[in-house]
Amino acid sequence: MLTRSNIPTAKRIVIKVGTSTLSHSTGKLNFQRIENLVRELADLANQGKEIILVTSGAVSAGMDRLGLKEKPKTIPEKQAAAAVGQGILLHTYEKIFGEYGQIVAQVLLTREDSVNRKRYANSRNTLLTLLSMGVIPIINENDAVAVDELKIGDNDTLSAMVASIVDADVLIILSDVEGVFTANPQSDPTAALIPEISDITPELEDLAGGPGSMRGTGGMYTKIQAAKIAVNSGVVMVIASGFRDGVVREVLSGSNVGTLFLSKESRLHIRKRWLAFGARIRGSVVVDKGCEQAIVTTGSSLLPAGITEVDGEFEQGSTIRVLNSEGREIARGVVNYGSDDVRKIAGVRTQDIIEKLGSKLYDEVIHRDNMVVLV
């Protein structure tokens, strides 16, 4: 497992850079900062590292070219700005990376590429092939075609999903903040940087606020959610300031910068990784303390007797969340019964399922082979 001390051994690295890092307060691209970042990444590639860049900034670049003063509010306007901006952004990266002898490839993803298992596998194969050819993939969400139900949501989540898909060693999220603090550093002068996080608790999630800047969409909350995906996929994640020159080099040298999230010791199998983070979530169930302990400590299946609440409408074969009595997500899995039937059998013993439903297809609401434990 990677820690600060052995992070220099990391081979495959995903770097996510946000709009606020790439642009001036005017909204125009900050070419000096882009060039500094590209030079760092090109140097890492020359060392034999495999680099994937997940970049924001397409909408902002499009706004500048179109002369828009405010961020578009409608989906068609956002998509138009993104369509213009993606070309500008890629051309900028391609030109600067080319000056340092690196080949880049644009990869645009939508949620459909992660929720459809075949497309998930195809995305993985494409990215791994590009890396094997010495190409640096530059990834963004396909804002020009994605509508809300197809959007991944933000590039923090996208970068974590990419890191999961390609079995990355490290995910570095460059932000407009130094890392995770004990309180909001903008309003609390006593706030201290948390250098290392080994467990993403509900208390930690409560520390996360809303969006961090006017032009970006990913606040600290989305970064914590990204960390959940990364660490459960066996990927170490670091949040650091994108305003620091040489910050990527510092992180990968093992310097004590930013906040490091330690990964779980074992990587999830590719199928379970898709199940946990690729599949669309359709609902949730709440379980009692005994059921929680059985799932978390022994990897037991979810039986109806332990269920206390059912939320949402879902069908047999849907992926749902399993929450404990405090509302913390402890697992995800493919459910054997629809929501109506789960409500009928919640809290009953396995042998009583037939009495409640008239028949019994399965003993388990979620079989352990189709469930991923997240704590």
Q: Which residues are annotated as a binding site for ATP?
A: 16, 175-176, 217-223
Dihedral pair phi/psi, residue 58, rounded to 5°: -65, -45
Q: Give the containing element (helix H, strand E) for 124.
A: helix 117-132
Helices (H) and strands (E) in the chain, counts: 14, 13
3-state class (DSSP) for residue 134: coil
DSSP class per residue in 246-279: THHHHHHTT-S-SEEEPPPSSPPPHHHHIIIIIS
The candidate with the shortest Cα–Cα distance to 59, out of 20, 33, 106, 104, is: 20
DSSP class per residue in 5-20: TTGGG--EEEEEE-HH
> In whole angstroms, what is the distance from residue 338 CA to residue 370 CA?
15
Residues belonging to the binding site for substrate are: 56, 143, 155
> In whole angstroms, what is the distance from residue 297 CA to residue 329 CA?
15
> Could you tell me the maximum CA-CA distance found in the chain, to the nearest angstrom?
72
Residues belonging to the binding site are: 16, 56, 143, 155, 175-176, 217-223
Dihedral pair phi/psi, residue 92, rounded to 5°: -65, -50
For residue 8, CA distances in Å to 116, 135, 140, 173, 198 come to 35, 21, 26, 17, 19
